[in-house]
Amino acid sequence: MQQGTLSKALKSGAIWGFIAFELVFFSVAGEFLSLSDKAFMDFDNMLLLLKQSAPIGIIAMGMTIVMVNGNIDLSVGATFAIAAIILLESMTWPIFAALGDWVIPVAWLLALTAGTLLGALNGLIVWKTGVDAFIVTLGSMLGFRGIVFMFNGENPTSHLNWTLVDFAEAEFLGLATASWVLLAVTLVIWFVMSRTVHGRNAYAIGDNREAAVNAGIRVGPHMMINFAIIGFLAALSAVVFYSESGSVNPNDGQLYELWVITAVVLGGTKITGGAGSVIGTFGGVIAIQLLRKGLGHIGADTSTVNLVIGLILIAVLFLDRQLNVKGKEELKV
Amino acid sequence: MTTAPVLHLDNIVKTFPGVRALDGVSFSVLPGEVHALMGENGAGKSTLMKVLGGIYQPDGGDIYMGDTKVTMSGPLEAKAMGIVFIHQELSLAEELSVAENIYLGELPRKSFGRVDWATLTAQTNAILKKLNVGFDAKTRVGDLSIANQQMVEIARALTVDAKAVIFDEPTASLTDAEKVVLFDVIADLKADGVGIIYISHRMEEIFKITDRISILRDGQYQGTVVTAETNEEAVTQMMIGRKLDLSRNAAHHDLGAVALEVRGLSCGALYQDVSFEVRRGEVVGFYGLVGAGRTEIAETLFGLRDPSAGQILLDGEEVRLHSPADAIALGISLVPEDRKGQGLILGMNCRDNMTLPQVDDLKAGPFVAEGAEIAIFDQYRDRLDIRTPSWKQRVGNLSGGNQQKIVIGKWLSMHPNVLIVDEPTRGIDVGSKSEIHKLLRELAAQGYAVIVISSEMPEVLHVSDRIVAMYSGRITRTFTSDEVTEDNLIQAISGIKPGHAA
Amino acid sequence: MATLTKQRIGSVLAKQGILIAFAVFMIAFTIANPKFLSVDNLFSVVRSSAILGVMALGVTFVVISGNLDLSVGSMMSFSTIVVLDLHDKIGPLLAIPAMFAMTLGLGAFIGFLVGYLRLNSLIVTLGMLSAIHGLTLTYSGGQNMDIADKEGTWFSAFGQGTALGVPVPILIFIAVAVFLGAVLSKTAFGRKVYAVGGNGTAATFSGIRRARTVFTCYLISAACVATAGLIQASRSMGSQNTVGQGLELEVLAAVILGGASLLGGSGTIFKAVIGVLILGFIQNGLLLLGLQFYVQFVVTWVIIILAVWLDIAAKRGKLWSPIA
């Protein structure tokens, strides 16, 4: 019993402990290795970090609810790219020409709707066919990417709207728009998962599906809603990012699913579902971004970042297993 | 008694391929009555419960609640009608709180789909107070002991206007103090006029709290008796019956050398200080209640658990078993308790399942000698009378009895020195049952050392030369077939010291 | 009676559905464009599928054993870069075994984590995807790798040569497929792979060393990846660090299309080959029809979901899932 509590405390605190470790490590190591004179734990640097975390972070919140629900979504990167293209393309469509800058909310709405519908489509297929979410979203990851190419082939899609860029680059209380969106999404998903009936039922389904079904919880609609949520958030992430950059390549968003899943698992969400928290995921997102920046700060290149993140993911899995290790007399199967 | 029964079953029939699981079961539960349902494993209790819960549809017969005939289409409908189940296997979401589990599927709502925590907590705490438990609504269920998780299940039953509550082995994991609380809860329900079906193997409890007892045997209804007017022996008699030729084994024959000896074997809290020996040509039966440690001993002997103390000797030499592969190499075989989960690969064909442990040894050049495999399969198909159209049949498509024969054939074809059989006839039809009993005797006669673990007393009595009785992780007594009687065996597995019997 | 026939049609569809689909595609594409069935075209399809195909053969073992391997794409980049680099440093004769040894080392590491430590294969190989990518970049210093003297080496034979009029990549693909097909369907080890994936507990209870079996599957997968990397390197004689990126999912798509269940215990090498060819022929057929390459993505999406859906629908006897 006590052991269990210890392991739980370790697990829930682990990600923040890891972040603290990263901060100290990179600050100290930076003194000796850094190419720049700036301190690592610089306030501006931290704000920038939050902003840079946003694209992955926003999607990771959706992945948390989907994974807690017992599913997974590999198609988020492709959804992200579709939403980005719709956002930028639609602003150039002649039918919206008369709208002036009012085209911006329309474009947002279109992109977000597209993302939500694609997510809901995944959910509907998982629900109605009973095919595993991994396979369904593996398929739609390819299919959605195909749709991305249908817009402009292999050419990038670009459209800069300065009003939009100004909005995206605006800062409020020192935080960039993207950071605000990330914080707001975190708050809303936290609310959904911990305070609403839908959220609690999502946990129950991921934890013990049979018990949930026996208690009359309708598994299908809950799953579909969660897929719609992650689709919406993938689109929102694109809206935030491309409002500023104004140009999207058809390969953008590739491997996002891997980054997002890494963040969610680092944040303590169980891959089999039923356990996980948005706050943990937030920690996971920050930890990854910190690692990228920190390694950059001490002069390591992207290759080291990939290597380290991959190994850390495995190490977390290993530690988690060691903390839940079976008693000696347990059945060895 | 003029009150209408809350629940009345009339001539319920349910068949599965090859098995008549329920064969004309009828009984009534009156309001304010605790009605025990008894029978051995495989007697049809769990099938009956699934029919009541709407998980199975009966092939014949009717269910009445009060005076109205009802059909159950699923657990939800059953619950809506006021039939609540307290399952032996917990169906809880461990990561959620006690309150969320109790109101799973019907959390109180506020605006924006929010959970109404205040109401939820208040309602839950009111129920928990009634149950007098030491945890509150916000506790995470995964942090509770098994006994307390059971209490959460019970609390669930109290949330609806229950007309009938069915307890399935509720005390299996409870301490004595917790049992007292449970019995108080049952008394309260009874006072409220709820009808209670109480399924248990524990005579003591049955005679303490129930009003009437209905007994099933091999899917057939044996009758209902008033608890106050009967005794343990009479009930046991009804449960066991004398239908099969389950005469006591008296075929003494010459025993060989000691094949397996166990000295002071312990495995954590599972069992302690177990010593026994098995000779060639001998069947040793292990009898005890579920959880007494029988299966765990078998798993240790098969290399699946590391003992914390003690020795295992094969033919007089101490051995260390770290995996089933080690055990098999030393000539130990285990026909496991859970046929589908541990014994078979259901998606594989019959032949491949049967030859799996020796697939490394059946070689034709670099490949598996399929001809030799088929020869082995044919040999044991004929010997064990396995009914399957061909070896290509998926094992999952066979009946329970034939599946079990495949598992037995798998281990016989290894020619083991020690054959351990755990619950050899669970859930299989009567015909296959007696064939398997006969086979076990034959094997002993051929010089195998056989250990049979069973929860069925007639089976143990029938096949064993000696019987080891276990209670709560310890061997309480070893009987020769001359010494054993049903009474002294029941005492030995109930932890009752001789002379203290009721 | 009617239901029986329906069920039988269902089970035939489930068992042979992928072959039927394959035949339908071939006929449709041939009618649309007779060039489709020409020997040249067939060769070119199989040759371009060979790299994906060889990797799919290895992943088939991993999937049947009940696990996943998402690291094969980045592992293939690693093999390609390493063999190209070593070619100029120690010569092809030593470079090839050295590259195989290094790739097998990675496979052994994954096999140890998944087999012996029993870590979740999805997450382990996801982590390894990233880690191996980092390893490759570190190895190459982020530079593209090229063979300096492209004419003066026999190294190009694996990717560009022909023997008996057949392109060497096709011969390698066939040889590996026949060899692994025999291993999987005829040997004791193959039987154990099915057993471990079908019911790991029951396999353990039958004396099978589950960890060792899973470990070996990852070694086989790594060996296939190394072979694919060799073909890739030899074909292009130079490579980017990201040459295998994204292939892991295409490989998995081919294996699933071949009817292997992600739950483990089912699938065959033959069907995996069919899965690979279907992907290859769809791509080729759509191009011959004048459609853009990306249409194949959408078509593949639809086919994967239909294939798996019909498979499980036939097994449960109902088209729609029972999920409430």
State the ipTM, two decimals: 0.85
Confidence at residue A6, expressed as pLDDT on a 0 to 100 scale = 46
The single residue listed with the structure tokens 């050295």 is: C98
Checking if the pLDDT of A333 tops 80, the result is: no
Chain C positions touching chain B (beta carbons under 8 Å)? 182, 186-188, 191-192, 194-195, 198-199, 201-209, 265-266
Q: For a pLDDT cut of 70, what percent of chain B falls above it?
A: 91
Checking if the pLDDT of C16 tops 70, the result is: no
Task: Compute the average pLDDT of residues A296-301.
Answer: 78
- For residue C245, the chain A residue with the least C-alpha distance is A255
Least reliable range by pLDDT among A284-293, B157-166, B277-286, B387-396: B157-166
- Of A4 and C224, the one with more pLDDT: C224
Residue B237 CA from chain centroid, whole number? 20
Checking if the pLDDT of B501 tops 60, the result is: no
- By CB atoms closer than 10 A (0-12, 13-18, 19+), residue C231 is buried
- Cβ-nearest to A271 among C120, C130, C294: C120
Partner C contacted by B325 (CB < 8 A): yes
Task: Compute the average pLDDT of residues B121-130.
Answer: 89
d(CA B73, CA A95): 55
Confidence at residue B314, expressed as pLDDT on a 0 to 100 scale = 93
pLDDT tens digit string along C48-85? 899 999 999 999 999 999 999 999 999 999 999 999 99
- Cβ-nearest to A314 among C127, C133, C320: C127
Confidence at residue A35, expressed as pLDDT on a 0 to 100 scale = 62
Which amino acid does the sequence have at C38? Answer: S
Residue C191 CA from chain centroid, whole number? 20
Which chain C residues have a beta carbon less than 8 Å from that of B325?
207-209
Answer whether A18's CB lies under 8 Å from A9's CB. no
- For residue C267, the chain B residue with the least C-alpha distance is B347
Distances (CA, A) of A88 to A56, A108, C9: 20, 9, 49
Mutation for A interface: C256, C298, C300, most A CBs within 10 A: C298
Tell me, what DSSP letter sits at residue B393?
S
Inter-chain CB proximity A329 and B270 less than 8 Å: yes
Checking if the pLDDT of A5 tops 50, the result is: no
d(CA C168, CA B367): 28
Confidence at residue B246, expressed as pLDDT on a 0 to 100 scale = 47
Partner C contacted by B359 (CB < 8 A): yes
Binned at pLDDT 50, 70 and 90, residue A2 comes out as very low
Task: Compute the average pLDDT of residues C197-210.
Answer: 95
Mutation for C interface: A214, A260, A266, A314, most C CBs within 10 A: A314
Q: Give me the long-range contacts of A329-332 (CB less than 8 A, separation at least 24).
A: A329/B267, A329/B268, A329/B269, A329/B270, A329/B305, A329/B306, A329/B307, A329/B308, A330/B305, A331/B299, A331/B304, A331/B305, A332/B303, A332/B304, A332/B305, A332/B306, A332/B323, A332/C204
Which chain C residues have a beta carbon less than 8 Å from that of B334?
205
Domain boundaries, chain A: 42-319
Checking if the pLDDT of A1 tops 50, the result is: no
Answer whether B219's CB lies under 8 Å from B22's CB. yes
d(CA B490, CA A166): 84
Instruction: Return residues 217-236 of A near C (CB < 8 Å).
Output: 218-220, 223
Answer whether C200's CB lies under 8 Å from B342's CB. no
Inter-chain CB proximity A328 and B268 less than 8 Å: yes
Least reliable range by pLDDT among A115-129, B163-177, B452-466: B163-177
Distances (CA, A) of B116 to A197, B306, C116: 9, 49, 46
Chain B positions touching chain A (beta carbons under 8 Å)? 75-76, 79, 91-96, 100, 104-107, 109, 112-115, 143, 145, 267-270, 299, 303-308, 323, 342
d(CA C84, CA B326): 46
Give the number of other CB atoms < 10 A from CB of residue B335: 24
Confidence at residue A244, expressed as pLDDT on a 0 to 100 scale = 82
Distances (CA, A) of B386 to A182, B435, B442: 64, 11, 17
First-to-last C-alpha distance (Å) of chain A: 24
Least reliable range by pLDDT among B99-103, B239-243, C313-317: B239-243
Neighbours of chain C (3+ CB pairs under 8 A): A, B
Helix (H) or strand (E) holding A323: helix A302-323
Helix (H) or strand (E) holding B260: strand B258-267
Least reliable range by pLDDT among A150-159, B251-260, C181-190: B251-260
- Cβ-nearest to C205 among B334, B352, B366: B334
Instruction: Return residues 376-435 of B near C (CB < 8 Å).
Output: 410
Checking if the pLDDT of A325 tops 50, the result is: yes
Answer whether A282's CB lies under 8 Å from A186's CB. yes
How many CA atoms does the CB half-sphere of A309 hold within 13 Å?
Answer: 32
Inter-chain CB proximity C205 and A333 less than 8 Å: yes
pLDDT tens digit string along A142-182? 899 999 998 888 888 888 777 878 777 777 887 888 999 99
With H, G, I as helix, E, B as strand and everything else as coil, classify residue B11: strand
Confidence at residue B236, expressed as pLDDT on a 0 to 100 scale = 74
- Average pLDDT, whole number, for chain B? 85
- By CB atoms closer than 10 A (0-12, 13-18, 19+), residue B134 is exposed
Domains of chain B are 7-240 (3.40.50.300), 258-340+417-494 (3.40.50.300)
- Cβ-nearest to A211 among B91, B269, B303: B91
Confidence at residue B1, expressed as pLDDT on a 0 to 100 scale = 45
The single residue listed with the structure tokens 């092939």 is: B59
pLDDT tens digit string along B7-48? 898 888 988 766 678 888 888 999 989 999 988 766 788 788
Most confident of B13-27, B144-158, C86-100: C86-100
Name which of C117, A333, C197, C115 is nearest B342 in CA terms.
A333
What fold, for A42-319? ABC transporter involved in vitamin B12 uptake, BtuC (1.10.3470)
- Cβ-nearest to B306 among A197, A274, A328: A328
Least reliable range by pLDDT among A48-52, A136-140, B341-345, B480-484: B480-484
Task: Compute the average pLDDT of residues C111-140.
Answer: 92
Give the number of other CB atoms < 10 A from CB of residue B119: 15
Inter-chain CB proximity B107 and A197 less than 8 Å: yes
Confidence at residue C272, expressed as pLDDT on a 0 to 100 scale = 93
Partner C contacted by B337 (CB < 8 A): no
Retrieve residue B295's tokens. 């299966």
pLDDT tens digit string along A196-243? 999 999 999 999 998 888 888 899 999 999 999 999 999 999 999 988
Which chain C residues have a beta carbon less than 8 Å from that of B367?
182, 186-187
Task: Compute the average pLDDT of residues A111-124.
Answer: 96
Q: For a pLDDT cut of 70, what percent of chain C falls above it?
A: 94
Task: Compute the average pLDDT of residues C131-157.
Answer: 88
Binned at pLDDT 50, 70 and 90, residue A11 comes out as low
Question: pTM, whole model, 2 decimals?
Answer: 0.85
d(CA C275, CA C267): 11
How many CA atoms does the CB half-sphere of B9 hold within 13 Å?
Answer: 26
d(CA A186, CA A236): 13
Confidence at residue C22, expressed as pLDDT on a 0 to 100 scale = 77
d(CA A121, CA A147): 14
Task: Compute the average pLDDT of residues A258-283.
Answer: 89
- Of A3 and B397, the one with more pLDDT: B397
Confidence at residue B326, expressed as pLDDT on a 0 to 100 scale = 93
Most confident of A317-321, B81-85, B332-336: B332-336
Most confident of A60-74, B208-222, C280-294: A60-74
Helix (H) or strand (E) holding B310: strand B309-314
Q: Which residues pair with B27 in a beta bridge?
A: B9
Task: Compute the average pLDDT of residues B304-325.
Answer: 92
Q: Which residues pair with B420 in a beta bridge?
A: B334, B451
Give the number of other CB atoms < 10 A from CB of residue B319: 17
- Cβ-nearest to A333 among C142, C204, C323: C204
Confidence at residue A3, expressed as pLDDT on a 0 to 100 scale = 39
- Of B292 and A201, the one with more pLDDT: A201
How many CA atoms does the CB half-sphere of B190 hold within 13 Å?
Answer: 16
Mutation for B interface: C205, C209, C216, C262, most B CBs within 10 A: C205
pLDDT tens digit string along B69-114? 888 877 778 888 888 888 766 688 888 999 999 998 889 988 888 9
Binned at pLDDT 50, 70 and 90, residue C294 comes out as confident
Domains of chain C are 20-309 (1.10.3470)
Checking if the pLDDT of B502 tops 50, the result is: no
Mutation for A interface: B91, B97, B116, most A CBs within 10 A: B91
Inter-chain CB proximity C300 and A271 less than 8 Å: no
Answer whether B157's CB lies under 8 Å from B148's CB. no
Checking if the pLDDT of B59 tops 70, the result is: yes
